[in-house]
Amino acid sequence: MNTPPLRLVICGTDTDVGKTIVSALFVQGLEAVYWKPIQSGTEGGGDRQRVIDLLELPKERWQPEAYAFQAPVSPHWAAEREGRCIDPEQLQLPAVDGPLVVETAGGLMVPLTRHWLQIQQLERWQLPVVLVARSELGTLNHTLLSLEALRSRNIAILGLVMNGPSHADNPRTLNELGDVPLLCELPPLEQLNAAALAKQWHVQNVKAKVETEINRL
In angstroms, the CA 165 to CA 163 distance is 7
In angstroms, the CA 144 to CA 141 distance is 5
Q: Are 101 and 30 in contact (CB under 8 A)?
A: yes
Residue-level pLDDT at 44: 80
In angstroms, the CA 112 to CA 40 distance is 11
In angstroms, the CA 79 to CA 86 distance is 7
Phi-psi category of 65—alpha, beta or left, where left has phi over 0 and alpha has psi -120 to 50? beta
Residue-level pLDDT at 45: 84
Q: pLDDT, tens digit, for every residue of 158-180?
A: 999 999 999 999 999 999 999 99
Q: Are 165 and 135 in contact (CB under 8 A)?
A: yes
Residue 107 half-sphere exposure toward CB, CA atoms < 13 A = 13
Report all structural domains of the chain as residue ranges with CATH numbers, in order of start. 7-216 (3.40.50.300)
Residues 6+ apart with CB under 8 A from 136: 164, 165, 167, 170
Tell how strand 157-163 and strand 182-186 pair up: parallel
SS3 of 134, please?
Answer: strand
Residues 6+ apart with CB under 8 A from 203: none
Q: Output the CA torsion 63→157→207→202 (10° steps).
A: 90
Taking the chain (217 residues) in consecutive chunks of 10 residues, what is each chunk's mean pLDDT? 86 94 98 97 90 97 97 96 97 96 95 98 98 95 98 98 96 96 96 97 98 94
pTM of the model: 0.96
In angstroms, the CA 120 to CA 124 distance is 6
| CA 15 to chain CA centroid, nearest Å | 11
Instruction: Tell me the H-state helices in 2-96.
Output: 19-30, 46-55, 75-81
Residue-level pLDDT at 1: 55
Q: pLDDT, tens digit, for every residue of 133-154?
A: 999 999 999 999 999 999 999 9
Active-site positions? Answer: 36
| DSSP state, residue 142 | H
